[in-house]
Each structure stands twice: as C-alpha cells, then as structure tokens.
Amino acid sequence: MKTITIHEGTGDNAIEMTVQITEEEFAKMEQIKQYSPSAWEGKELELIQEARKLLREELEEVKQDKGEASLPKSEKEEHTISKENQPAKNNNGLWWTLGILGALLLGYIIVHSIIQQKTNEAREVILNSGLNMITKPYSYQGLTLEYPGNWSFSENKLSDDFYMVGGRNDKGSEFGIIWVTNTEASASGFIDDVISGYANSGRFSNVEYSSIYDTRFNGKDAIAADYSYICNGEQFYAKVIGFVTNGNTVIINPIAHSKEALDGDDFKTLEKSVRFTNPH
C-alpha cells in the first residue's frame, strides 16, 4: 500500500487529505496523468476513482478472456446462444446494477456534501481566527491604536476640545468607546456621568456597578469602575476607565456580552496599542 496526500478542488475551496492506495492504483493514476496532466489538476480524488474503475474493467476483461478460453468451441457457441436466450434475466441484472450504482452515487453525493459543509464551517472558523490575529492601524486627532481585523471604527467630533471614537466587532458582541477631551475634566466625574447615564436611562435595566477603584491602563495610573446592564433582553458587562495623559483626559469604555470577552485578546490588543501623541 502507498500513502499519498491529495488535493480536491483549487484555490480557497481546496481540501487536503491523506489516503492509502495500492501500487497498482498508483501506477494506473500515473499512466492516466501522462496523457492529460492538466485535466486532473485539483481533481485527484476523481483521478483515484478513474484509476480504480479502469483496473476493475481490466480485471473483468481478463476474467472473461480466461473463461471463454477454457471452453471448447461447441460449448462457446452454446454459451453464447444461452446468453442470447436470456434477455429478461440480463435486463434484470442490468437494472439491479444500475440501482446499486445509483445508490452509491447518491451516498457519495450526500457524504461529499456533508464533508464540504464541515470544511466550509472549519474554513469560516479559521478565517475569523485569522481576522482576529490581523491588526489594522487607526489614527484620529492624535489618538493612534491597532484593532483586530474583524473590528471597525468611526469617530465623532463633539466640539473643538472633545471627541469620541467608537469601535465594534463584526458580530456586535464587543464594543469599545473612547472619549477624549483636552479640558480640565475630572476623570472620576466623567466615570460617574457614564454610569449615571446608564442607571437613569429607561433604555437599560438591571444596571449594577462597583465603586471607583485604582488600576493601571497600558502602564499608566488610572481609575475605573465595573458595571453591567441588560438592553433589549441581552446581558452586557463593561468597564469605564479614566486617566490623564499628555494633557488629555481620557475615558476608555469596553463593553462585551461576557466577562471573559471583556478580559479577552481583542481588548488587550486595543489597550496595548493605544497612544495619545497630540499634547494639550
């Protein structure tokens, strides 16, 4: 037996798999490819099936030749006549064979469809994972950061001294909001305003929050508070973090559907990369 790696399909739809074939099947595959190698590019699974089909046909021919050769001439003629006198039986055998082939073909189509579906699902997972690993740069009004490839960002200038930047992932399960002002705004007062806005709004329910505590953000001294709420029947967990850097009073507000995501790689990527290069 030989173990080979084959590729089914081309480009993004290519599937790689390892199969075992006999020496005879391998030799027949090489023989077929000699006549038209380009015809089998990305179709190695079909090439194996074609090789096996030709080997079966050759084996049947050898068996028939041996069977005919072992009969005397008179018996060959009688054998031929006997075949001609049994058309109904042959037809029944033909339909039975076609029925088996049809069932096998249907089974192959179903199995191939399942494999293709699972492959597409796996490819989507891999693609999304790949997007998470890719980071993109963002810059606005002296704020620079890097964000995961499956996020998008936009900005809103509220006044000459105050702007907001917002980001979210493609599933809408994680959000990040950054408020920046160059005024003498109090970080603790800003945090209180954010949480009070949630607590006093009729849009959010079950708002729960902690007291303000000291923390660190990207190597800087900061203060923060944790809070959670329900919006449209969905549970959210969030933090609001405040600090001063380069004369900017900054509020960072990560929000997610789970506490694990709130401490996950996406927000860590944002935290490690955020910089404020425009002094006020």
pLDDT in tens, 204-261: 999 999 999 999 998 889 999 999 999 989 999 999 999 988 888 899 999 999 999 9
Q: What are the beta bridge partners of residue 256?
A: 174, 237
Residue type, 96: W
Q: Where residue 213 sits, what CATH number does that domain have?
A: 3.40.1000.10
- Residue 183 neighbours by CB under 8 Å, 6+ apart: 161, 162, 249
Sign of CA dihedral 50, 55, 56, 57: positive
> Is 131 a residue whose pLDDT tops 60?
no
pLDDT given at position 208: 94
Which of 78, 113, 131 corresponds to the end of one domain?
131
Instruction: Tell me, yes or no, whether 151 and 255 share the same domain.
Output: yes
Instruction: Tell me, yes or no, whether 115 and 194 share the same domain.
Output: no
> Is 25 a residue whose pLDDT tops 90?
no
Task: Say whether 232 sits in a helix, a strand or coil.
Answer: coil
pLDDT given at position 217: 92
Instruction: Tell me, yes or no, whether 83 and 63 share the same domain.
Output: yes
**Minimum mean pLDDT among 36-50, 122-136, 173-187: which range?**
122-136
Among residues of the chain, what percentage have pLDDT more than 90?
18
Residue span of the structural domain in which 31 resides: 2-131
Using alpha carbons only, give the angle 97, 54, 25 rounded to the nearest 5 degrees: 120
| E strand or H helix at 106 | helix 87-133
Tens digits of per-residue pLDDT, 147-181? 888 888 888 888 888 888 989 888 877 888 888 88
Which of 97, 131, 165 corresponds to the end of one domain?
131
CA distances from 96 to 71, 102, 103, 234 (A): 28, 10, 11, 58
**Minimum mean pLDDT among 166-175, 187-196, 248-257, 267-276: which range?**
166-175
Instruction: Tell me, yes or no, whether 91 and 147 share the same domain.
Output: no
Which of 109, 131, 153 corresponds to the end of one domain?
131
Instruction: Tell me, yes or no, whether 87 and 170 share the same domain.
Output: no
pLDDT given at position 135: 81
Instruction: Tell me, yes or no, whether 123 and 182 share the same domain.
Output: no
- 26: burial class by Cβ within 10 Å (0-12, 13-18, 19+)? middle
Instruction: Tell me, yes or no, whether 148 and 272 share the same domain.
Output: yes
Number of domains in the chain: 2
| E strand or H helix at 251 | strand 248-256
Residue type, 200: N
- 29: burial class by Cβ within 10 Å (0-12, 13-18, 19+)? buried
> Is 82 a residue whose pLDDT tops 50?
no
* Cα–Cα distance measured from residue 184 to residue 182, given in angstroms and rounded to the nearest whole number: 7
> Is 86 a residue whose pLDDT tops 80?
no
Instruction: Tell me, yes or no, whether 191 and 232 share the same domain.
Output: yes
pLDDT given at position 103: 55
Decide if 48 contacts 2 (C-beta within 8 A): no
Residue recorded with tokens 């994972």: 129
> Is 24 a residue whose pLDDT tops 70?
yes
Instruction: Tell me, yes or no, whether 153 and 259 share the same domain.
Output: yes
Task: Say whether 280 sits in a helix, a strand or coil.
Answer: coil
pLDDT given at position 221: 94
Band of residue 201 on the pLDDT scale cut at 50, 70, 90 = confident
Instruction: Tell me, yes or no, whether 192 and 118 share the same domain.
Output: no
pLDDT given at position 39: 67
Q: Could you give the maximum distance between any two Cα atoms of the chain, in Å?
A: 115
Between residues 157 and 11, the one the model is more confident about: 157
> Is 12 a residue whose pLDDT tops 80?
no
**Minimum mean pLDDT among 75-79, 119-123, 189-193, 200-204: which range?**
75-79
Average pLDDT over residues 30-43: 70
Among residues of the chain, what percentage have pLDDT more than 70?
64
Say which DSSP state 149 is in.
T
Instruction: Tell me, yes or no, whether 192 and 218 share the same domain.
Output: yes
Instruction: Tell me, yes or no, whether 126 and 164 share the same domain.
Output: no
**Minimum mean pLDDT among 73-87, 182-196, 262-276: which range?**
73-87
